[in-house]
């Protein structure tokens, strides 16, 4: 039974859990992902945490705390800054226990932890290895990274890994990126560790680099973020392309070969949707993304992450409903109401951090690990420290000629709109549109306010049951913190 509306990001504003692998266990969706820190100097600096929600109440998430600490792995390097816990995946073993497959920087191996419950305290279990005991990654293979798992209907267990970005010497740590796309290992379910698919590397046919040229993979070659799902009798391999900002998929009749390119699932800048041809026209600052597909109650969702704080390493979990028809997925757009099952209510209080489009007069940026200067672009950030100390995420530098968009709302009975701002802008107005490039439906005069202040205006009648709201600042020199808005 639904008790709360679902927003994007679907976790609290102070939580940074990218690279999500969602799994349904006993009527709840559990999310396993990396754990960034707000304003962290690098990716994945936190220990693994877990969140879950009832399948019929996807806005009501429960925090289960830390489920595995980096120091529990005997191979954990002393230096955490460049050797964090990267994207994990979970699979249930034949013994009913829950196995967490993960990668830690500085080890070159795929590690495994185990627990008797999906979100309990996991214990270190071992390393995935060949029959002679040599861990995969220790024979000079291409770099092992971001494991994805599939327990097939026949009980066979497959592990997928791979990394094709050649320009990351710190992460690669002397290893070579894959030139042949993702690798697949069949794992013995008796111990959940031993490779039984032989010593020769098996590539599944999702192409990258030179091999992708002249093929259907040429525009979206494999980069990283291996994940596998099965719907009906087809296997869907989800991956992040070398373009980095999008998740793509390939499909096959088999779990370990024969994959044909399928298309884009989602872009963390809406790149590929009508009117957004490339990264220079992105609707949100971009960076890498990683996630997977899941079916819940007959609906399909794509889980991914967005970026905040003017750099790549403060990533937040998002999800969108995605169209699936005749075996094909169609690219989802970024929204504010992803898991809600429909538009958000036209009455209520909405924090500005649920914006799904945030860009300035000169567009957006592809983020690096170093903060870009504030410049003329709005951006998502928070005032507090990491986690519960900073539950106040907002849009900063909400400035003249920028756009901050929210999708979607049922505005049929909405009569007024109020914005809460803090900043500078005498003689300015906040304009609101329902179409990205349409005419404003109202203008709200605003003024300089050194403390948060609310400004309001009536909405016109005749609005629909699925409307976007695009906010902009009109007038010379306006620059505010956009905190929230209220519909009544």
Neighbours of 108 (CB within 10 A): 21
Catalytic site residue from 89, 224, 321, 474: 224
* Strand ranges across the sheet with 202-203: 148-151, 157-161, 183-187, 202-203
For residues 50 and 31, is the Cβ–Cβ distance under 8 A?
Answer: yes
Alpha carbon distances (Å) from 444 to 16, 59, 397, 404, 458: 33, 31, 18, 15, 9
Token look-up 């877990």 returns 50
Q: What distance in Å separates the CA atoms of residue 281 and residue 275, rounded to the nearest whole number? A: 8
Residue 56 annotated as catalytic:
no
- Tokens representing 331? 């690219």
For residues 100 and 47, is the Cβ–Cβ distance under 8 A?
Answer: no
Among 55, 7, 25, residue whose Cα is nearest residue 317: 7
Neighbours of 321 (CB within 10 A): 18
Among 340, 334, 326, residue whose Cα is nearest residue 246: 334
Catalytic site residue from 19, 186, 467, 481: 19
For residues 57 and 40, is the Cβ–Cβ distance under 8 A?
Answer: no
Residues 6+ apart with CB under 8 A from 81: 41, 42, 45
Residues 6+ apart with CB under 8 A from 109: 75, 103, 127, 128, 135, 136, 137, 138, 144
Residue 401 annotated as catalytic:
no
Among 367, 471, 296, residue whose Cα is nearest residue 36: 367
Interior/surface letters 3-26, b for 16+ CB within 10 angstroms, e for the rest: eebbbbbbbebbbbbbbbbbbeee
Token look-up 């320009």 returns 167
Q: What distance in Å separates the CA atoms of residue 338 and residue 4, rounded to the nearest whole number? A: 13
Token look-up 């970026």 returns 307
Residues 6+ apart with CB under 8 A from 426: 447, 448
For residues 374 and 397, is the Cβ–Cβ distance under 8 A?
Answer: yes
Residues forming the active site: 19, 224
């Amino acid at each position: 039974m639904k008790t709360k509306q679902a927003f994007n990001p679907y976790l609290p504003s102070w939580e940074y859990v990218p690279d999500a692998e969602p799994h349904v266990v006993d009527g709840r969706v559990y999310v396993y992902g990396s754990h960034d820190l707000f304003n962290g100097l690098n990716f994945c600096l936190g220990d693994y945490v877990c969140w879950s929600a009832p399948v019929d109440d996807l806005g009501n998430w429960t925090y289960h705390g830390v489920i595995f600490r980096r120091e529990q792995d005997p191979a954990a390097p002393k230096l955490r800054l460049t050797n964090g816990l990267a994207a994990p995946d979970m699979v249930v073993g034949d013994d009913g226990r829950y196995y967490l497959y993960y990668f830690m920087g500085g080890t070159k191996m795929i590690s495994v932890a185990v627990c008797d419950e999906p979100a309990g305290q996991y214990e270190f279990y071992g390393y995935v290895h060949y029959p002679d005991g040599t861990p995969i990654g220790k024979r000079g293979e291409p770099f092992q990274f971001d494991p994805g798992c599939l327990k097939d209907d026949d009980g066979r267990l497959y592990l997928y890994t791979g990394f094709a970005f050649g320009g990351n010497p710190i992460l690669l740590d002397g290893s070579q990126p894959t030139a042949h796309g993702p690798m697949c290992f069949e794992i013995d379910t008796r111990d959940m560790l031993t490779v039984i698919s032989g010593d020769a590397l098996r590539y599944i046919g999702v192409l990258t680099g030179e091999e992708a040229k002249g093929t259907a993979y040429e525009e979206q070659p494999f980069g990283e973020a291996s994940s596998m799902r099965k719907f009906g009798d087809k296997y869907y391999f989800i991956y992040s392309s070398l373009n980095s900002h999008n998740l793509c998929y390939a499909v096959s009749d088999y779990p370990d070969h024969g994959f044909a390119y399928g298309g884009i699932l989602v872009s963390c800048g809406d790149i590929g949707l009508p009117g957004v041809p490339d990264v220079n026209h992105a609707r949100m600052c971009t960076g890498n993304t990683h996630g997977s597909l899941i079916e819940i109650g007959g609906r399909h969702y794509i889980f991914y992450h967005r970026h905040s704080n003017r750099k790549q390493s403060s990533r937040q979990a998002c999800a969108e409903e995605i169209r699936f028809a005749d075996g094909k997925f169609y690219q989802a757009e970024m929204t504010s109401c992803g898991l809600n099952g429909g538009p958000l209510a036209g009455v209520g209080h909405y924090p500005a951090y649920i914006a799904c489009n945030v860009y300035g007069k000169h567009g957006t940026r592809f983020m690096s690990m170093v903060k870009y200067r504030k410049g003329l672009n709005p951006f998502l950030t928070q005032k507090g420290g990491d986690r519960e100390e900073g539950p106040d995420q907002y849009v900063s530098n909400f400035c003249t000629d920028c756009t901050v968009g929210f999708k979607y709302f049922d505005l049929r009975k909405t009569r007024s709109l109020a914005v809460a701002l803090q900043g500078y802008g005498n003689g300015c107005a906040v304009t609101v549109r329902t179409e990205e490039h349409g005419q404003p439906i109202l203008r709200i005069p605003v003024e300089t306010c050194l403390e948060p202040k609310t400004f309001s205006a009536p909405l016109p009648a005749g609005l629909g049951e699925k409307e976007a709201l695009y906010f902009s600042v009109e007038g010379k020199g306006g620059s505010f913190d956009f905190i929230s808005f209220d519909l009544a």
